[in-house]
Amino acid sequence: MKFKKTILILLLIIFIAMLFRLSAVLSSKSFWFDEVVSIEIAKKGIIESWQYLKWENNPPLHYWFLHWWIKLFGAYEIPARLSSLLFSIFGVIAIYFLGRKLISRRVGLIASFLIAISVLHISLSQDARMYPMLFFFAIVSCYYFWEIMHGRRNRINWFLYILSTVLAYYTHILGLFLFVIQNIYFIYKHYFLPKDREIKKLWIYSQAVSVGLFLPWLYFFIIKAIILLNGSAWYFHTSGGGFFLLEIPRGFLFLGAESPIIEFVGLIFFGIFLTYSLVRVKEWSAERMEFKVEFTIQPATVFCWLIFLVPLMAGFIIQLWVIKYYAISSIGFFLLVATGISNLKIVNKYRFALICMIFMMSLPYNFIAITSYGQHQWANAADYVLSKEKIGDKIFIPAFIYKLPFDYYYKGNVEVIGYEPLGLESDLLFKTVKYNWCPIISKENMPDIGEVIGNAQRVIVIYSGTIAIMYKTDLVLDWFTENDWDLETREEFGGFANLAVLIFRRPGDE
């Protein structure tokens, strides 16, 4: 493929990626809980933010980047989310170079196109969080890893490998998947490929340096995990439908809403492409009814399968059904699919038609990503409360963490109460980060709701159906019912939090 043609195709892919992502960002609504946490921490100074970040599950790099980003562009929804869009586009470009380095230009272009139309990556680009940044740095780390394994081992490449790897570590704790993937491949190379004694010491040194640079934060993470270790944390209670090792890869292109016919055809296609990443058609003839294939397990293919499978296997063990945590896995998946499409022994016009078919299959899901994902309702709920509140009311939020996003949008003067057990810290942001969605409401530790709301004539309850079971917040609604409070009105808002606003009137109050 000629260089100029490659550049033109890559620019077209970038344009398609930008079109989908920008449409998604511009159509999205209010921040959701995680984004508000990111924004509130990012508003703090670099030094001041550390008191929160040392309790956070995620390393500090994205928060510090966001600090400077919102200083330049503002802490509003669209400017903040454009930071994720930027890294998402960087990822589309970087996957081309990784695919070209590992296998061929054609594989790089196909993988880049698949990332551009991936509903997962479109949805991540409209979320002011760290996953597009992790995705980009992980690709760069894999690129320079391959360079030092099978290419030039100059100081610049070693430095860029260590730098990109450490940046991935400091973006998200799941960046450590790279440590596992790359070391498994190194062992494979050392024992199954021609011996390369020169690299062994350098490799051990590079791992010691990269992990050593990450230890200052990892130390705090391990200490915090030990202090707060309990089986009730939210990430031990995720669930999904279907077979885990199929459902997670399905989400890379078919996230959320289901269309059985499209997905049935799509999963067959992608199953064939994944198979074709390991085989080549040696000879086939429709007339003679002959079909011969040969297995071609190349080192680059092994590496891609490791990228794909290692995060999936780790997630399978703990049954963690949160697809954004598998952003690194999607690198291997799309490279393998691209390799399979490239390996098909068909003329280019049929290969192009196949890619167009994949594009058409993805369009309904991309439309859903643009019109449905990111449609969080905190601003609408806050405006509704403002229109309904009266003097003497109190606003009551059964899960105290959700006081953070509500406060971000609420402009009224009624007291807002975040319901929580006694003895927690006074700083709302601090305890939100420290307890990280821990379900702490129970009949044993519930403060008396009557004392909390005092003499309020009406109580406006901000209720999230999404975390009702996890937090047992229905216990709060049960209290109002058991004490004969009248439900004056209930307004549903939906969104990720499945928000509802319930207004209760004190018994006997007309």
Tell me the C-alpha distance between 380 and 371, whole Å. Answer: 16
pLDDT of residue 417: 92
pLDDT of residue 293: 65
Tell me the C-alpha distance between 465 and 425, whole Å. Answer: 26
Name the pairing type of β-strands 393-397 and 416-418. Answer: parallel
Confidence of residue 151 (pLDDT cuts 50, 70, 90): confident
| Cβ pair 295, 279 in contact under 8 A | yes
Asked if the model's pLDDT at residue 229 lies above 60, the reply is no
- Residue 130 has phi, psi (to 5 degrees) of -95, 0
pLDDT of residue 366: 86
376 forms beta bridges with: 30
| Mean pLDDT score, 384-407 | 92
pLDDT above 70: percentage of residues in the chain: 90
Query: 483: which 2 tokens?
Result: 């004490």
Asked if the model's pLDDT at residue 510 lies above 70, the reply is no
Q: What does the H/E/C string look like for 90-147?
A: HHHHHHHHHHHHHCCHHHHHHHHHHHHHCHHHHHHHCCCCCHHHHHHHHHHHHHHHHH
Q: What does the H/E/C string look like for 421-462?
A: CCCCCCCHHHHHHHHCCCCCCCCCCCCCHHHHHCCCCEEEEE
Confidence of residue 442 (pLDDT cuts 50, 70, 90): low
Confidence of residue 252 (pLDDT cuts 50, 70, 90): confident
Asked if the model's pLDDT at residue 440 lies above 60, the reply is no
pTM, entire model: 0.92
> Could you tell me the sign of the dihedral formed by the alpha carbons of 405, 407, 411, 413, in that order?
positive
Query: 452: which 2 tokens?
Result: 């909390």
pLDDT above 90: percentage of residues in the chain: 55
Confidence of residue 393 (pLDDT cuts 50, 70, 90): very high
| Mean pLDDT score, 352-360 | 90
| Cβ pair 266, 254 in contact under 8 A | yes
pLDDT tens across 34-76, in order? 999 999 999 998 899 998 988 888 899 999 999 999 999 999 9
Strands (E), 344-485: 393-397, 416-418, 458-464
CB atoms within 10 A of CB 273: 23
Tell the residue number behind the tokens 């503002």, with chain if given.
Answer: 74
28: part of which helix (H) or strand (E)?
none
Tell me the C-alpha distance between 265 and 260, whole Å. Answer: 9
Average model confidence (pLDDT) for the chain?
88
How far CA 275 is from CA of 299, 339, 358, in Å, comes to 16, 10, 17
pLDDT tens across 152-198, in order? 889 999 999 999 999 999 999 999 999 999 999 999 998 888 877 77
Higher-confidence position of 80 and 469: 80
| Mean pLDDT score, 360-377 | 85
> Could you tell me the sign of the dihedral formed by the alpha carbons of 37, 40, 46, 51, in that order?
negative
Least confident segment among 91-95, 414-418, 494-498: 494-498
Query: 120: which 2 tokens?
Result: 């997962």
Tell me the one-letter amino acid at 210.
S
SS3 154: coil
